[in-house]
Structure 1
Amino acid sequence: MRFRTISVLDIPCAVAESGSTYCWGGLSTAPVAVPRRNRSEHGVFGARTCDLTADSTVVCWDFEDSSASVRTVPGGLRFARLALGEFACGLTSGGAAYCWGESVPGRPENPVSAERRWEPYRVAPDVRFRSIHPLWRSVCGLTLEGAPYCWGEGGPLLPGVPERQVAPAPVRIPVERPLVSLTFGRIHACGLTADGAAYCWGSNGWGQLGDGTNAERPGAVRVAEPAAPGATNIPGPPVLHRPTVSEWVLPPGYDSTRAYPVIVFLPPTLGPATHPMGRYTTAVADHVVMLPRDTVFRDDFSDTEEFSEVFPRFERGVLADLAAFAAAHRVDTTRVVLAGFGGGGDLAWTIAQRNPTRFAGAIVMGSPAGFRGPPANLQTLAQRRARFFFALGDGEAPARLRGVRATMALLQRSGIEHRFETIPESDHVPAPAAMFAQALAFVLGPR
């Protein structure tokens, strides 16, 4: 069988040359024909497939439902556009936006029952859209006037809304000029104006915004003109770019004859390693800093199996880059510290445990530190007098607090030095700069 188009999310679905739709996964490991409709648009959300029909209704088929029944989205609505992702959204001809699924950003009840997930919920009732984009736990749209809006779980796509906080109402993304289209990555977005100018917003740790910097921006910025042939737009402090997974930031007044201590910042979930680097610039001013150029996603920590596939990639990159840098520059290989927040904290704790002779310790922020390595590694950490510093907001999720307490009990039994500090009036946030400086002094302090 040959197909014209294919869409993939939790399950794949494809439209054959005959016009029939087939899906597989979920209840069937082989392609199954989806009941045919006179469709104008088709797509996948979760483990479901939906069609926008010629009469402007939307019909969906649940691939996890053994009855394999087709459902018409209720409410008597007529749609002009269909957009699918982790949930489904439709736009009426007047630009009104409706979404449905288990969890819809902005809906008061999340998640809803299996039956109610088909009920369309009017999102952003005061705004009219020309396009809408369901994303991971958030949604963005472009208004009829060309203004981008986003709402849902905070992060790089919602400037000013911290990760794990929720913006229930649309947040307007500042942009100088009206846009006519939008496109999205996991942690940044871009749009075009009518005359072809490009504007981007979101994470800029790798220069994704194209403005010639790595700086975080409060809104969309215009993409800069390309560099002249032979020139570069590499911004920031002195950085050694290597053909590996990391960047190296040298301290001001770098002395090539001196053996500097090294801090390895592991990237937080959905963000680049430059995020903590920018927060702690003063504290690390007399250190060489390593910034792995990779991204951690929430799905990477969904279960032990997922994480077991992620941390070896970072571990190999960190160890290889440390060896390569130490071979060409003087660094104090006995004073290498791992540090990270959120997913980066999980990686710092895990890599330090798995390599007890390579690191002086770790600074672990916003992480339950749940990984458990071999007992012999804990003995080696104790013998080498490695140190660990943990920091959590006093309003953190109880599971993270329980995890850190269990880890500290393990370190206590193993005779490994450690400290724990709470961040006042905070939930899931990195340590303040002053606390990080204290953590660094503790981990690298005299034995």
Structure 2
Amino acid sequence: MTDTGTDTAATTSATVSASETRSSEQLIRAEAPVLAHNYHPLPVVVARAEGTWVEDVEGRRYLDMLAGYSALNFGHRHPALIEAAHRQLDELTLTSRAFHHDRLAGFAERLAALTGLEMVLPMNTGAEAVESAVKVARKWAYEVKGVSPDRATIVVADGNFHGRTTTIVSFSTDETARAGFGPFTPGFRVVPYNDLAALESAVDETTAAVLIEPVQGEAGVVIPDDGYLTGVRELTRRAGCLFIADEIQSGLGRTGRTLAVDHEGVVPDMLLLGKALGGGIVPVSAVVARREVLSVLGPGEHGSTFGGNPLSAAIGSAVLDLLATGEFQRRAAELGEVLDRGLAALAGSGVTGYRARGLWAGVDIDPAIGTGREISERLLAEGVLVKDTHGSTVRLAPPLTITEEELGSALAALTKVLS
């Protein structure tokens, strides 16, 4: 009789061994038949990383100017975060929420304090946080506001990106995200972003919440006019509905403040966090809200086996330690000025426009020079990693640990590929 267990182990070992010795080109080719083609990554195979730098399997080094869409705000393998992960791995990784564990209360207390809110619902991914907020807002509308059953609406902005689940793509205006995935979830109204008049006209007695990104990241780092967020806050308060701010990409230091809403001193009713909250190590997200809002949830009405697990709570707490110093917010603000000046110098020289806040920018490329994808590939050849969006725009979002010299090198590379 064949020892299938031994054969399987041997095959697995051989496969792992082969993957360790294959070239970048071979590994990229090997992905095609076994991975769903829902991404179109740049042709680089990262094997190691430290700080702001990554290294491919051949040992070539690249400056990371994307930082995992803000998941790596504190750089790759930040020593304090790695230490927290190692320490917790030796103690406890998972209990499920069937039991209490010793790391969760402290994490929630500190996250609530950081945001100026009162109660935390821990989840894993950004999309989970958004889905959770949608459920909470609807339940709040029925139990607190008094909206008739199954009539609650949520107002969102065009150009939004809140995730890719079926409910979330139901209110996306990106046809690539929507096409072929219907029927869609009802109950959402879409208005132009940065348009308070349009928002006011869409809000009525059925409105549970207004859900917006304080800065639209996927849309190309679209920054609203000064006063827009204040206006949203005032409008929702008058209308008796909730203001939900999705800060999954914009939050935790990226824009030069702890939160993007801090630029206008606004406190939403619900705040959605993710990406950087996990330190680039594990997926961690959270809905942080006023107590009155999150208190509508009762046992069994929502949950997540891994949400708020001991490992994520330990790493999230270490992230909050880093933010508590204010160092990363200051770095993003100060180096953001360097980034802004560098991009301003490129205006009219291959750059048709740009938007920047803190260490985050969307750069519109002159079509005569190339597409966003082509510019990203040229920067790859220069040892700089970025990512395009919506055809002609390149996003820049380096780790907040980047030095002024490294940022200057990235800007020099961009100048070179545009010339």
**Shorter-chain TM-score: what band?**
under 0.3
Name the TM-score, length of structure 2 as normaliser. 0.24
- Point out the structure with the larger helix share: 2
Name the TM-score, length of structure 1 as normaliser. 0.23
Select the structure of larger CA radius of gyration.
Answer: 1
- Point out the structure with the larger strand share: 1
